[in-house]
Chain A
Amino acid sequence: MTTLTLPQWLQPWVRLARGEAPQAQIRLLLLQWAAPIVGILVLLAVWQLGASRINTSLGQFPGPVQVYEQAGNLLAEHRAERERSRAFMLRQEERIAARLAQQPDWEPVRRSYTGAPTFFDQIRTSLVTVLAGFLLASLIAIPLGIVMGLSRVLENALNPVVQLLKPVSPLAWLPLVTLVVAALYTTEDPAFSRSFVVSMVTVMLCSLWPTLINTAVGVKTVSDDLNNVSRVLRLKWLTHVRRIVLPSAIPMMFAGLRVSLGIAWMVLIAAEMLAQNPGLGKFVWDEFQNGSSQSLSRIMVAVLVIGAIGFALDRIMVLIQRRVDWKQD
């Protein structure tokens, strides 16, 4: 049966082509494809109709067409900025040559482009920051969660702390993180900019908890049979964790990681907006402050991109989860 190895979304097409129960396949196809498309079309129609009725002080609320145009503008601006960057580099070489002619013993230093980051640069900054924060959170939450799941004492000790810190909004953490990072992170030539560290730590503080709690719960669900086997075999603690605990905890752990990543992305945008740290959040805030007739459309482009990236990140986590969760196979 080769069809079983095909991705699920392809199966009805293949079966239809083979003539296996065509009516059932068509119903399935309508459900899988037509319904989402209709949903999106209805959304666009409602958006277009609604937008034309909302008049803000910055002009009419942008509909899909204006937003599409602005997306094109943002791309054009990105290309223009790259062009300016190339021109900057050429000018720099000329100036270095001129100064060397005056001062032959000078060692030229080449500087990177000093222009403003474009929308696409901001997307990249946000992605890098969210992944760094999420990674850091996972590195802390997973080991801590395992220890919590294994030890009743530790669990009882840490539980109140976790319950207290878990619901704290990123906006409350941010001023503290900003000041603490400013006080502690004071190298002369830092590898990462301070704003990056602030965003990353804020993301970490807020996205830690689902992974931590799920890991702990996952660890506790290890069946007694397995624990008994481990005891009989007199497995060392580390081997016990690796061979017995981790495999049973992984499905829960990944469910937690998935929630964590979603939170990380939402927190990052808010943090960038408030702290004026580079990224998509800053883009949105800058456009709000600009208050030009195009600002609303540009913010809408950012909103859609933020949504699309959040969705993509979630899908990636689901794929990884399926890969590592061998129980489902």
Chain B
Amino acid sequence: MTARFIIALCSVLLVSAQAAAQNWPEKDELRFGFIKLTDMAPLAIAYERGYFEDEGLFVTLEAQANWRVLLDGVISGELDGAHMLAGQPLGSTLGFGTQAHVVTAFTMDLNGNAITVSNQVWEAMKPHLDMADGKPQHPIHAGALKPVIEAHNDKGEAFRMGMVFPVSTHNYELRYWLAAAGIHPGYYAPLRGDTSGNIDAEVLLSVTPPPQMPATLEAGTIHGYSVGEPWNQQAVFRGIGVPVITDYDIRNNIAEKVFGVSNEWAERYPNTHMRVVKALIRAGMWLDAENNRNREEAARIISRPNYVGADYEVIANSMTGVFEFEKGDVREAPDFNVFFRHNATYPYYSDAIWYLTQMRRWGQIPEHKPDDWYLDMARKVFKPAVYQAAARALIEEGKASAADFPDMNTESGFRSPEHTTFIDGMVFDAREPNAYLQRFDIGLKQDSGRL
């Protein structure tokens, strides 16, 4: 009897040990939100290629109306996770806008945005451009836009541009581009309740959801916008605007979208979180595999109405390594969308810190903070430990090799300062955020005081 009992006990223990080793998901029915942009592709690919199912997850993907609705969905728990702007988990954790602790363990892509102006603005910019072989010389600096803005201001009209969310990459990129040419994009002053970001502004920036950008430009409400794909290429196809610069030329290879979840969710469902990241890593690998060989198929998948829904030609334009500026001016853009190479998916603290510096530069962080604060905040939001666990599991299962990932034993969480190039030639060292901020002509600094 006892022998039998011991054997039974052993087998039970063995089974539960196996279950623990397998890390089965605590929650298997999941709802993820996304915005209709090409960089939601990792989610669509993980779904369509069965990577979520391989992890025992039943995922429903739902398009959201705008970034605010999406973030509220994650915070309220209506969504389990979402395709987010890298600045969203950071902004909400430090309390700009809705205060909530949101974290991320996976970067969905690098780059992928551009700035587009209306046809009239483009015509007015043209005389101020440097030409080479009958084509405008790239990158186009905002200096060419300056006389157009001044002409508008002389007529007593405001020059308006759209971006997608106050803490969006697009906002910081547009501001970076404008400020690099001495055009003031305006400060935020949240302590005074001013979250419009238009204090001292020469260009009035406002929020428009990405899919509505072309329609808003066409209606004349804004003169240009900064947005992700396919909404720049859409403007070219529809003949309503001209992209002038991609974000790759403004500042490159810093986390663009992340997969965000609430901290509460992450703590409650650690295995689920790790498995979601596993599926997303595989999707990223597939998207960048063999020199973007799968990109056309990916463009076909996300052109379905339930994903991005724009025409295949429009999506494929930027996803397959080229980018069309003025109609017919198609240029090579191999790194316009990066989903895996350059360790794209790893959640680097340095990427988080770059966003935090921009939040400080424009007043979304209203007061000076010491360098330590920046790293602490990055650690609070970016969770490389979850990513590392997922990567190790994939290596163990033979679905990835160690060479695909940064060396996890020595990884510090900081990309090298040479990794990113900026349009104004600045160098960003994430270990010294305040010294970096001090070097900008336009932007808040340690001694700026409160606005």
Contact = CB atoms under 8 A, between A and B. Distances in A.
B and A form one assembly: yes
B190 interface: no
A105 B306 CA distance: 38
B58 interface: yes
A36 B102 CA distance: 60
B56 A95 contact: yes
Given A114-B60, A289-B211, 7 more contacts: A106-B19, A114-B59, A116-B306, A276-B65, A285-B65, A290-B305, A292-B309
A276 B63 CA distance: 9
Nearest to B235: A57
B22 interface: yes
Contact of A289 (B22, B47, B239, B309): B309
Interface residues of A, number: 29
Interface of A: 57-58, 77, 91-92, 95, 99, 102-106, 109, 111, 114, 116, 182, 194, 276, 285-287, 289-293, 295, 298
B238 to A, nearest CB: 4
A22 to B, nearest CB: 54
Interface string B392-411: 00000000000000000000
A99 B76 contact: no
A294 to B, nearest CB: 8
B234 A102 contact: no
A95 B55 CA distance: 10
Given A290-B36, A290-B310, A291-B310, A102 B18 contact: yes
Contacts of B29: 111
B76 A102 contact: no
B12 to A, nearest CB: 8
Given A103-B15, A105-B15, A114-B59, A287 B309 contact: yes
B311 A292 contact: yes
Contacts of B303: 292
Contacts of A276: 64-65, 69
Nearest to A57: B238
Interface string B311-326: 1001000000000000
A123 to B, nearest CB: 15
B28 interface: yes
A194 B58 CA distance: 20
A57 B118 CA distance: 14
A111 B50 contact: no
B63 A286 contact: yes
A138 B239 CA distance: 51
B240 interface: yes
B30 to A, nearest CB: 9
Contacts of A291: 211, 214-215, 234, 238, 309-310
Contacts of A103: 15, 18-19, 22, 24
28 contacts: A57-B238, A57-B240, A77-B305, A91-B50, A95-B53, A102-B22, A103-B18, A103-B24, A114-B58, A114-B59, A114-B60, A116-B61, A116-B306, A182-B76, A194-B78, A276-B64, A276-B69, A286-B63, A286-B305, A286-B309, A287-B305, A289-B309, A290-B36, A290-B305, A291-B214, A291-B215, A292-B303, A292-B305
Given A57-B214, A57-B240, A91 B28 contact: no
A111 B28 contact: yes
Interface string B229-270: 000001000111000000000000000000000000000000
B214 A289 contact: no
